[in-house]
Amino acid sequence: MTSIFIKTFGCSHNVADSEELAYYLSNFGYTILGLENVTSHLSSSQSEYELELLKQADLIIYNTCTVKNPSDDKFFTLLKRTNKPVVLAGCIPQSQVADEWLKDYSAIGVDNLDLIVEVVEGTLKGDVVHRLKKRKSLDDRELPIIRRNSFVAIIPILQGCLGSCTYCKTKQARGHLKSYPKETIIKQIRKAKHEGVKEIWLVSEDNGAYGKDIDSSLPDLLRNISYTVLNSDIMVRVGMLNPEYAFEYKIELAEIIKQDCFYKFLHIPIQCANDSVLKDMNRPYTTSQFKESFSYLREKIPDITLATDIICGFPTESPEQFLDTLNYVKEEKFTVINISKFYPRPKTPAARMKLLPTHEVKRRSKELSDWFSGVNFNEPYVGQTLSVLFTEKGNVDGSFIGKTNNYRNVIVKSKKDILGMRFNVKIHSTTRDDLRGEIVN
Ligand code: SF4
């Protein structure tokens, strides 16, 4: 049995794509190594376990991410060290289709995951096979998958976006918005429900743009999803949507995610809090719009958990404009902040701008990271008893990770396997990233 190891970099969309690749390959008779360990992190540090799998594998699929320079660097470092047949997937080959180096490697495009078997077959025969052509629509894609975690369904709802952010390379890979038909997504949800899934993640480059190309919308899709999971104990994570859609849909979103089946959690990447820099980033919203969205959502759902992304050191950002962002973030108290340094990405407008000195970019992201690592917005939960759904094993033996209804991480110890189950947990301590406690019943 030929065995294949899929190494995944980047976002949850890439993890969903790896699950789909695994489905076609195992369905054809290949052995998939270590799928359960697919974790979406940018680490090139290969665990002992991973190194063992790499030794065992007859072929390796690198499902790549191109969002930042380090993601490219880590991938190319691994590629150089790889002495096995390789297939490249994800955003690096898809955004560099015409590049000379790619002629030496087999590659599959983000629209063509269902063609993976013919790419692998050809590669094992020693051929270089490319299936990188973009598709006009995704109507014929069924999204079959093998879940890395049998309790969590990661469901892509679209490919690409409607944005043209000046710093972004992802757009060159994922392209212009193509929404999956609502029926395809609902069919996936029904299948997940039938298979005992407890948590559903909706993923893409911008969930807010859903349906803009097929006469639907994110609220419309979410209403259909809530009908489908009604009376089940499934929890849905709406995921990431851009601020312009949070502003457009704030009233409907507040109404919809109030329902029990939705986590009270939204990830809304503002990137910065200065209108002039937002303009230079070509982000189609203003600071007053997202401030209005956040205060409305907090008013309607007081315990909502809000996550955001911040880019520090965009070329045109002055020290004063960075302070606007820093002061605003301190005021808004986001529970999760993904902090990035600006990186000039190839073939992007921002890469042609006059760059700030690297030390200044580092200083700004350090100032924000230092502040954020010193806060803990979970403290108020100490002493409370919360209802928690457990779907992941912890890093320490006998520990499990669950989510509260507002998507806070909760870590407990348990002698018995509690995956897929919900318990009340008495919280006795917290860190910035999680709550710790005892199961009470
Ligand atoms: S919305 Fe902007 S940052 Fe996001 S994928 Fe599209 S172009 Fe890139």
Smallest Cα–Cα separation from 19: which of 1, 2, 37? 37
Interval between CA 166 and ligand 1 midpoint (Å): 9
Which tokens go with 422? 């919900």
Q: Which of the following CATH numbers is that of domain 3-131: 1.20.58.100, 3.40.50.11240, 3.40.50.2300, 3.40.50.1580?
A: 3.40.50.2300
Task: Kindly tell me if the per-residue pLDDT of 375 is higher than 80.
Answer: yes
Interval between CA 416 and ligand 1 midpoint (Å): 43
Q: Ligand 1: which of 158, 164, 281 to mutate, most ligand atoms within 8 Å of CB?
A: 164
Please give the CATH topology (third level) of the domain spanning 379-439.
OB fold (Dihydrolipoamide Acetyltransferase, E2P) (2.40.50)
Residue nearest to atom 1 of ligand 1 (CA): 163
- pTM for the model: 0.94
Give the number of the atom of ligand 1 that is nearest the alpha carbon of residue 242. 1
Q: What is the pLDDT of residues 21-44, one digit of tens each?
A: 999 999 999 999 876 554 444 444
Looking at residue 46, its pLDDT comes to 54
Q: What's CA 139's distance to the chain center, in Å?
A: 23
Q: How is the chain split into domains, by residue range? A: 3-131, 152-373, 379-439
- Match 């609502």 to its residue by tokens: 182
Q: How far apart are CA 122 and CA 227, in angstroms?
A: 44
Q: What is the pLDDT of residues 175-209, one digit of tens each?
A: 999 999 999 999 999 999 999 999 999 999 999 99
CATH architecture label of 152-373: Alpha-Beta Horseshoe (3.80)
- Match 């992304």 to its residue by tokens: 309
Provide the mean pLDDT of the chain. 94
Contacts 24+ apart (CB under 8 A), 31-34: 31/1, 31/2, 31/3, 31/4, 32/3, 32/4, 32/5, 32/6, 32/146, 33/3, 33/4, 33/5, 33/57, 34/5, 34/6
Mean pLDDT of 333-339: 97
Q: Which residues line ligand 1 (CB under 6 A)?
A: 161, 163-165, 168, 170-171, 205-206, 242
The single-letter DSSP state of residue 214 is T
Q: Ligand 1: which of 177, 205, 207, 267 to mutate, most ligand atoms within 8 Å of CB?
A: 205
Torsion, CA 138, CA 169, CA 281, CA 360, rounded to 10: 150
Mean pLDDT of 93-116: 95
Q: How far apart are CA 263 and CA 28, in angstroms?
A: 37
CB 403 within 8 A of CB 263: yes
